[in-house]
Amino acid sequence: MSEPAGTLPDADLFSRDHFALFGLPRRFAIDERALESRYHELQSAAHPDRHAHRPEQERRLSMQWATRINEGYRLLRAPLTRARYLLELSGVDVGAENNTAMPADFLMQQMEWREALDEARDARDPAALDSLARNLRAARREAEALLAHELDEAHDTAAAAATVRRMMFIARLGEDIAEAHETLEN
């Protein structure tokens, strides 16, 4: 025990990217069950509940680790954040704020959805909101399939960034639908 240990743990473990932390290949298509069970395994080791009776320094480390694992799980679990994260790792800024150029047909589609939302809101029609939400879900699934191709096979980051921007619009509209539901219920 007096010799320097041969297997010091990886000092960079904490700053590894999220895919590495979860032991998953850096791809858009992901094994969701594997991700979830990795998440549970990592938190089983790191979570503050596992270190509550331990010294203060260990509790602090535990909180930092658990925070990082939660953040990684959040980013990897949702397709939109996972795609953005992959692009970020490849040095591509999705540029949501300044790069709003979208294909004309998607702009048309956007306007139609927005109109449908306004109409459903004015008519106080929850069924119309639900139907719009279904359309959005279908569009989202389509975009996800496209992303899997663009990121994992074609490695076309520019195309993927454009798809991500479309998904961001769909996500925002989804939030507006949820809000409209809430307003109707209150």
Partner 1 sequence: MALLQIAEPGESTAPHQHRLAVGIDLGTTNSLVATVRNSVPVVLNDEKGRALLPSVVRYLADGTTVVGHAAQAAQAQDPRNTVASVKRFMGRGLADVAHVESMSYVFEDAPGMVRLRTAQGAKSPVEVSADILRTLRVRAEASLGGELTGAVITVPAYFDDAQRQATKDAAKLAGLDVLRLLNEPTAAAIAYGLDNASEGIYAVYDLGGGTFDISILKLSRGVFEVLATSGDAALGGDDFDHRVYCWLIEASRIGPPGLEDMRTLYMEARRAKEVLSAQDAVHIGLKLSGGEEIDVTLTRDAFADMTKKLVDKTLVPTRKALRDAGLAPEDVKGVVMVGGATRMPHVQHAVGEFFGQEPLTNLDPDKVVAIGAAIQANVLAGNRAAGDDWLLLDVIPLSLGLETMGGLVEKVIPRNSTIPTARAQEFTTFRDGQTAMAIHVVQGERERVSDCRSLARFELRGIPPMVAGAARIRVSFQVDADGLLSVSARELGTGIESRIEVKPSYGLGDDEVARMLKDGFEHATEDMGARALAEQRVEAQRLGEATRAALAADGDLLDGAERAEIDAVLADLATAAGGEDVAAIKKALDALSRVTDEFAARRMNRSIQRALAGRSVESL
Q: Where on the chain is the footprint of partner 1 (CB under 8 A)?
A: 1-5, 7-11, 13-14, 21-23, 25, 31, 34, 37-38, 40-50, 52-58, 61-63, 65-67, 70-71, 73-74, 178, 181-182, 185-186
CA distances from residue 125 to 174, 175, 177, 182, 184 in whole angstroms, order as listed: 16, 17, 11, 12, 8
Q: Which C-beta is closer to partner 1: that of 149 or that of 181?
A: 181
> In the bound complex, what is the minimum distance in angstroms from residue 3's beta carbon to partner 1?
7
Residue (of 93, 70, 73) closest to 82 by Cα position? 73
Counting Cα atoms < 13 Å in the Cβ hemisphere of 124 gives 4
> In the bound complex, what is the minimum distance in angstroms from residue 50's beta carbon to partner 1?
8
Q: Which C-beta is closer to partner 1: that of 19 or that of 113?
A: 19
Q: Which C-beta is closer to partner 1: that of 25 or that of 103?
A: 25
Give the span between the Cα atoms of 171 and 33, in whole angstroms. 23
Tokens at 3, concatenated: 């010799």
